[in-house]
Amino acid sequence: MAFPAEFLDELKKRNGIVDVINSYVHLQRAGSLYKACCPFHNEKTPSFIVYERTESFYCFGCGAGGDVVSFVMKADNVDYVSAVEILAKRSGLTVPVDSGYNREAADKRKRTLEANREAAKFFHSQLTSGKYKEAADYIDKRGLRGAVNHFGLGYCPPGKKLFTYLTEMGYKPKELQDAFLCTRYNYDIFENRIIFPVIDTSGNVIGFSARSLEKKPADGRKYINTNDTAAFNKRRNLYALNFAKNSKEDFFILCEGQTDVISLHMAGFTNAIASLGTAFSEEQAALMRRYKSKVVICFDGDAPGRAKTETVIKILSAADMETKVISLPEDLDPDEFLKKYGKERFSLILKNSIGQMDYRCGEILSSFDLTQSDQKITASKKLSDVIAALYSPVEREVYTIKYAKQLDITAESFKSVVEQKHIQLLNKNKRERDRQILRNTEGYGDTVNRDKIRNTRAAYAEEALLGIAQINPDFLIKAKNEDRLCGDDFKTTFNRRVYDAMYECAEREGKFDISLISDRFTTEETGRIMRMFINRSELHDNGYEVFCENAKTLKNEASPKPAGESVTFDELRDLINNKKK
Concatenated DSSP letters of 498-565: HHHHHHHHHHHHSS--GGGTGGGS-HHHHHHHHHHHHHHHTSS--SHHHHHHHHHIIIII--PPPTTP
Tell me what pLDDT residue 518 has: 83
- pLDDT of the residue at 424: 94
Range of the domain at 149: 104-232
Pair (162, 206) in one structural domain:
yes
- How far is the C-alpha of 442 from the C-alpha of 196, rounded, in Å? 47
Structural domains of the chain, count:
5
* Contact partners, residue 446, CB within 8 Å, separation at least 6: 440, 452, 453
pLDDT at 559 over 60: no
> Is residue 248 domain-shared with residue 220, that is, in the same domain?
no
Q: What is the mean pLDDT of residues 265-284?
A: 90
Would you call 172 helix, strand, or coil by DSSP? coil
pLDDT 10s digits, 528-546: 999 999 989 888 889 999 9
Rounded to whole angstroms, how far apart are CA atoms 136 and 544?
A: 74
pLDDT for the residue numbered 561: 42
Domain's final residue, options 394, 422, 442:
442
Residue 2: what pLDDT?
A: 66
Residue 548 domain-assigned (yes or no) = yes
**Given this model, what pLDDT does residue 410 score?**
95
pLDDT band at 439 (very low <50, low <70, confident <90, very high): low
Q: Is residue 363 part of a domain?
A: no
Classified as helix, coil or strand, 379 is helix
Task: Check whether residue 115 and residue 220 sit in a common domain.
Answer: yes
Mean pLDDT along residues 498-510: 90
Instruction: Give pLDDT, residue 437.
Output: 61
pLDDT of residue 300: 86
Look at 278 and 394; give whichever has higher pLDDT.
Answer: 394
Q: What is the pLDDT of residue 190?
A: 96
pLDDT (tens digit per residue) in 61-107: 888 999 999 999 888 777 788 888 889 989 999 888 655 554 666 67
- Residue 353 counted as domain residue: no
**193-199, strands of its sheet edge to edge:** 154-156, 193-199, 205-212, 223-225
Question: Model confidence over 19-67: pLDDT tens digits?
Answer: 999 988 889 999 889 999 888 887 778 899 999 988 999 998 888 999 9
488 and 553 housed in the same domain = yes
Grade residue 523 by pLDDT with cuts at 50, 70 and 90. confident
- Closest to 398 in 3D by CA, of 425, 390, 317, 381: 390
Please report whether residue 305 resides in a domain.
yes
From CA 4, how far away is CA 9, in angstroms rounded?
9
175-200 core/surface letters (b: 16 or more CB in 10 A; e: else): bbbbbbbbeeeeebbbbbbbbbbbbb
CA 503/CA 537 separation, integer angstroms: 20
* Residue 182 forms part of a structural domain: yes
CB 196 within 8 A of CB 209: yes
Best CA proximity match to 154, nearest among 129, 187, 178: 129
Identify the domain boundary among 232, 263, 290.
232
Of the pLDDT bands very low, low, confident and very high (cuts 50, 70, 90), residue 468 is very high
Q: In terms of domains, do 456 and 502 share one?
A: yes
pLDDT of residue 96: 80
The 3-state secondary structure of 419-460, one letter per residue: HHHHHHHHHHHHHHHHHHHHHHHHCCCCCCCCCHHHCHHHHH
- What is the band of 457 on the pLDDT scale with cuts at 50, 70, 90? confident
Domain shared by 228 and 247, yes or no: no
Share of the chain above pLDDT 90, in %: 60
Q: Which alpha helices (H) appear in 169-203, and where do they start and end?
A: 173-178
Whether the pLDDT of residue 560 is over 50: the answer is no
Q: How far is CA 80 from CA 249, 349, 389, 401, in A?
A: 34, 45, 40, 53
- Residues 55 and 142 both lie in one domain: no
Q: What is the CATH number of the domain that holds 543?
A: 1.10.860
Q: Does one domain contain both 117 and 213?
A: yes
Question: How many other C-beta atoms can be found within 10 angstroms of the C-beta atom of residue 292?
Answer: 18
Q: Dihedral through CA 169, CA 172, CA 174, CA 176, nearest 10?
A: 0
Can you spell out the DSSP letters for 108-170? HHHHHHHHHHHHHHHHHHHHHTS--HHHHHHHHHTT-GGGTTTTT-EEE-SSSHHHHHHHHTT
Residue 454 has what pLDDT? 81
**Residue 239 confidence (pLDDT) above 70:** yes
**Terminal Cα distance for the chain, rounded:** 33
Of 207, 232, 257, the one marking the end of a domain is 232
Q: What is the CATH number of the domain that holds 84?
A: 3.90.580.10
Residues sharing a CB contact under 8 Å with residue 267, sequence separation 6 or more, in sequence order: 338, 343, 346
Mean pLDDT (whole number) for 303-332: 88
Q: What is the mean pLDDT of residues 182-194?
A: 95
Spatial CB neighbours of 296, under 8 Å, sequence gap ≥ 6: 251, 252, 253, 254, 323, 324, 325, 326, 350, 353
* 225 & 122 share domain: yes
Residues 195 and 256 in one domain: no
| Residue 213: predicted pLDDT | 93
Taking only the tens place, the pLDDT of each residue in 201-236 is: 888 999 999 999 988 887 788 899 999 998 888 888
Average pLDDT over residues 350-362: 93
pLDDT surpasses 60 at 565: no
* pLDDT of 569: 45
Over the chain, what is the mean pLDDT?
A: 88
- Are residues 438 and 456 both part of a single domain? no
What is the rounded (10 degree) CA torsion for 244, 236, 331, 247? -10
**223 and 202 in one domain?**
yes
Residue 117: give its domain's CATH number: 3.90.980.10
Domain with 286 in it: what CATH number? 3.40.1360.10
Partnered with residue 225 across adjacent β-strands are: 209
Predicted confidence band of residue 3 (pLDDT cuts 50, 70, 90): confident
